[in-house]
């Protein structure tokens, strides 16, 4: 602790002392350096030393690229999500440090720093900057001359700043700022005199922790006392203060504290952040590690309140979540997007941020595709088919033949392989398009897709936010991703995507589904889903998000969106407990080779403020989805529960107002279906 908590500490104004020291140092400087060089000449030869001085180059600090920690923040710009980089280092300005911090380091490492030329601190910095081998006489001579050159170019304070940002303090901490956090969980600017002395003491042997009080308290105390006395000698503190100083409490070293945080669920967010930046002009083509080691401050779109709530709702490892105590094979993924901006407010692709991503995919640093977030959407893809129908002038009041089983020979579904429904629907045998949507009926939606053509459905999905779709794997083949951003519906339908798109057979990601819902929540205006709000370095903007403008392309007219939203709002499993308007669609993907068992269950939807997609499936090998009660998991079960729980709490937690949906307009032709209205 400090000299008896609350007791006054006698301080000395170091600025005048240092100025006097520097004046005396200048008078002695040339004589000392000449003596040093002459001594080196005796060892290495006059010609080699002269040659070294004129041909050697030392990367001066403004040109030296130190690996510096990049910090990833939540959207508030202050809450840390992760720290990246090969070294734990955060650069600080000398002027932000209290005087006793550099004074302690000088006392510990180089008491003659302010008087001498070619000082130990200068040589240590030069050695790091040039990676000079000092095992030979020539290497030592070269280092001496380079440190001379360094001190001819920079002021002592500048050299000390370079050193403080470069030196290793142990515990994986490079530089004084990282060290302050590693040992005391505070900024370097807040270090006390005693804490500064402890950090200065560990520099001598950082690798083995010999002077770390948590490793060897007795040795650390001796080091502490020695540095305190040296500080008295150089005038940094007085004797009375030194006698009161005691070794302060040092945090026990916990390696997990200094990990990047990538093992948390938000580690998957960081993967998407890095992939997004690698495609941006400011970072495109940069070498590996450029972002991670570049000392950037990355502010993401992810809201810390929304993210915490989503994890509490969907993370199977958190007690009280809807997935807690469910069968081990069940895995949830969910994404929340802000309509109108495309900002990803919350993202859950799995509990392990270094493991599988069940909500999306991204390009890894190697350029390879990573992530397992593509799943057959089942009847949730009806949303895009319905939107395509409205765009084509077909009314939600149109009537459709809705038997339990129906053949579609033109689309490859003859009597041997008809389209089937296993859902009881009171509207049968003829249902309106709105009724068929609420009941999640396959037969009328397959007929609607056949009428529209798969290409139009795909074009609508693409326009709304579905950027990628996968061709299901054949026996022994890896499924193929099709980039819809680079293709039109006509280019990919009917091959490889046929009318089965109306049944949701082709996998899409949870992220894309959330973005599609955000488009309809924004009354038909499409935004690009993204994870990065801004990137800064040294307080300068390096990259900023691009938000849609008033001239953004509209996917549907506002009247058509009103009809779409009204239809989706009829889904009873999507009703929120507070009565807030909500438009949703459920769906299931069938277990392979099974007519009734499910392997994927979905809920997608939106309010006027938030858009969300939820998927539940198998963690690895596909099994029938059963909950802890043994009941079949469908979209109206666990996925709908996650949606309702999150949405009900998120609007309150984020302070979002209630937004009413508009009345339906009932655009389009009510006679455009394939059946007459019921009698």
Of the candidate ranges 156-160, 297-301, 314-318, 526-530, the one whose mean pLDDT is the lowest: 156-160
366 compared with 324, residue with greater pLDDT: 324
What value does the mean pLDDT take over residues 206-217?
Answer: 92
Per the structure block, which two tokens stand in for 640?
């709908």
The pLDDT-based confidence of 25 (bands split at 50, 70, 90) is very low
Q: Is residue 415 assigned to a domain?
A: no
The pLDDT-based confidence of 266 (bands split at 50, 70, 90) is very high
- Percent of the residues in the chain that have a pLDDT greater than 90, as a whole number: 69
If residue 35 lies in a helix (H) or strand (E), which one and from where to where?
Answer: helix 14-44
Q: Is residue 433 assigned to a domain?
A: no
What CATH number is given to the structural domain containing 188? 1.10.3810.10
Of the candidate ranges 74-83, 125-134, 346-355, 652-661, the one whose mean pLDDT is the lowest: 125-134
Q: Is residue 591 assigned to a domain?
A: no
pLDDT for the residue numbered 216? 93
pLDDT for the residue numbered 411? 96
Q: Is residue 230 assigned to a domain?
A: yes
Checking if the pLDDT of 530 tops 50, the result is yes
Checking if the pLDDT of 12 tops 90, the result is no
State pLDDT tens for residues 405-439.
999 999 999 999 999 998 889 999 999 999 999 99
88 compared with 359, residue with greater pLDDT: 359
Per the structure block, which two tokens stand in for 276?
């997004």
The pLDDT-based confidence of 119 (bands split at 50, 70, 90) is confident
Q: What is the mean pLDDT of the chain?
A: 88
- Percent of the residues in the chain that have a pLDDT greater than 70, as a whole number: 87
How far apart, in Å, are the Cα atoms of 540 and each of 367, 464, 546? 28, 34, 17
Checking if the pLDDT of 546 tops 60, the result is yes
pLDDT for the residue numbered 604? 98
Secondary structure, 3-state, 41-88: HHHHCHHHHHHHHHHCCCCCCCCCCCCECEEEECCCCCCEEEEECCCE
What value does the mean pLDDT take over residues 137-149?
Answer: 73
Checking if the pLDDT of 6 tops 60, the result is no
Q: Is residue 345 within 8 Å of 625, Cβ to Cβ?
A: no
pLDDT for the residue numbered 308? 98
The count of structural domains within the chain is 1
pLDDT for the residue numbered 645? 97
pLDDT for the residue numbered 316? 96
Q: Is residue 544 assigned to a domain?
A: no
What value does the mean pLDDT take over residues 43-72?
Answer: 58
Most confident of 168-172, 479-483, 505-509: 505-509
What value does the mean pLDDT take over residues 635-657?
Answer: 97
Checking if the pLDDT of 676 tops 70, the result is yes
**Helix, strand, or coil (residue 599):** strand
Enclosing domain of residue 219: 14-55+87-257
Checking if the pLDDT of 15 tops 70, the result is no
**Helix, strand, or coil (residue 363):** strand
For 362, how many CA atoms within 13 A lie in the half-sphere containing its CB? 26
Q: Is residue 631 within 8 Å of 326, Cβ to Cβ?
A: no
pLDDT for the residue numbered 11? 42
Per the structure block, which two tokens stand in for 64?
């030296």
pLDDT for the residue numbered 422? 83
Q: Is residue 108 assigned to a domain?
A: yes
CA 221 to chain CA centroid, Å, is 42
State pLDDT tens for residues 33-42.
445 544 544 4
Q: Is residue 22 assigned to a domain?
A: yes
Q: Is residue 156 assigned to a domain?
A: yes
Dihedral angle of Cα 175, 181, 183, 185, to the nearest 10 degrees? 160
Task: Give Cβ neighbours of residue 507 (< 8 Å, ≥ 6 apart).
Answer: 374, 375, 376, 377, 469, 470, 472, 479
State pLDDT tens for residues 274-316.
999 999 999 999 888 899 888 899 999 999 999 999 999 999 9
Sign of CA dihedral 383, 331, 74, 289: negative
pTM attached to this predicted model = 0.80
């Amino acid at each position: 602790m400090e000299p008896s908590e609350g007791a006054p500490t006698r301080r000395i104004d170091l600025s005048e002392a240092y100025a006097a020291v520097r004046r005396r140092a200048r008078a002695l400087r040339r004589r000392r350096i000449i003596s040093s060089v002459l001594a080196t000449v005796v060892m290495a030869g006059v010609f080699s030393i002269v040659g070294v001085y004129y041909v050697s180059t030392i990367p001066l600090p403004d040109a030296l690229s130190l690996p510096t920690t990049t910090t990833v923040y939540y959207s508030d710009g202050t809450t840390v999500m992760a720290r990246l980089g090969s070294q734990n280092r955060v650069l600080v300005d000398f002027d932000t440090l209290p005087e006793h911090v550099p004074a302690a380091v000088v006392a510990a490492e180089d008491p003659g720093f302010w008087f001498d030329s070619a000082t130990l601190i200068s040589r240590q910095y030069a050695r790091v900057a040039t990676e000079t081998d000092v095992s030979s006489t020539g290497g030592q001579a070269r280092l001496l001359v380079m440190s001379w050159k360094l001190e001819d170019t920079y002021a002592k304070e500048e050299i000390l700043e370079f050193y403080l940002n470069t030196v290793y303090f142990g515990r994986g901490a490079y530089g004084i700022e990282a060290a302050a956090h590693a040992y005391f969980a505070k900024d370097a600017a807040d270090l006390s005199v005693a804490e500064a002395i402890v950090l200065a003491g560990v520099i001598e042997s950082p690798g083995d922790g010999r002077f770390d009080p948590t490793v060897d308290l007795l040795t650390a105390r001796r080091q502490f006392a020695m540095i305190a006395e040296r500080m008295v000698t150089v005038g940094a503190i007085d004797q009375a203060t030194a006698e009161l100083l005691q070794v302060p409490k040092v945090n026990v070293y916990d390696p997990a504290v200094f990990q990047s945080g990538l093992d948390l669920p938000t580690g998957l967010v960081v993967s998407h952040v890095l992939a997004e930046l690698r495609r941006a002009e400011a970072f495109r083509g940069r070498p590996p590690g450029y972002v991670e080691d570049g000392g950037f401050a990355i502010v993401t779109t992810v809201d810390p309140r929304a993210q915490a709530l989503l994890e509490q709702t969907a993370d199977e490892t958190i007690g009280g979540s809807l997935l807690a105590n469910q069968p081990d094979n069940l895995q949830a993924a969910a994404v929340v997007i802000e309509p109108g901006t495309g900002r990803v407010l919350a993202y859950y692709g799995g509990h392990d941020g270094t493991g599988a991503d069940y909500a999306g995919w991204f390009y890894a640093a190697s350029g390879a595709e990573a992530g397992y977030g593509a799943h057959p959407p089942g009847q949730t893809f009806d949303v895009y088919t319905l939107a395509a129908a409205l765009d084509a002038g077909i009314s939600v009041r149109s009537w459709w033949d809705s038997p339990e089983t129906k053949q579609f020979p033109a689309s490859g579904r003859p009597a041997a392989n008809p389209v089937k429904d296993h859902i009881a629907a009171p509207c049968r045998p003829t249902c309106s398009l709105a009724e068929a949507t609420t009941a999640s009926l396959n037969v009328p939606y397959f007929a609607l897709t056949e009428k529209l053509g798969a290409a139009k459905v795909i074009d609508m999905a693409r326009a709304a936010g579905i950027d990628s779709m996968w061709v299901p794997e054949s026996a022994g083949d890896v499924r193929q991703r099709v980039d819809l951003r680079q293709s039109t519906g006509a280019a990919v339908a009917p091959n490889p995507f046929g009318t089965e798109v109306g049944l949701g057979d082709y996998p899409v990601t949870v992220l894309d589904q959330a973005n599609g819902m955000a488009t309809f929540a924004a009354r038909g205006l499409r935004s690009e889903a993204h994870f990065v709000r801004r990137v800064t370095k040294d307080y300068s903007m390096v990259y900023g998000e691009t938000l849609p403008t008033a001239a953004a392309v509209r996917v549907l007219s506002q009247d058509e969106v009103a009809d779409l939203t009204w239809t989706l709002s009829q889904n009873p499993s999507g009703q929120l407990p507070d009565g807030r308007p909500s438009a949703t669609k459920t769906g299931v993907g069938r277990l392979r080779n099974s007519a009734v068992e499910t392997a994927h269950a979905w809920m997608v939807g939106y309010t006027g403020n938030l858009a969300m997609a939820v998927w539940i499936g198998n963690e690895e090998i596909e099994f029938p989805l059963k909950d802890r009660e043994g009941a079949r998991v469908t979209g109206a079960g666990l996925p709908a529960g996650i949606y309702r729980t999150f949405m009900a709490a998120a609007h309150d937690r984020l302070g979002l107002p209630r937004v009413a949906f508009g009345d339906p307009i009932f655009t389009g032709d009510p006679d455009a279906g394939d059946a007459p209205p019921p009698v």
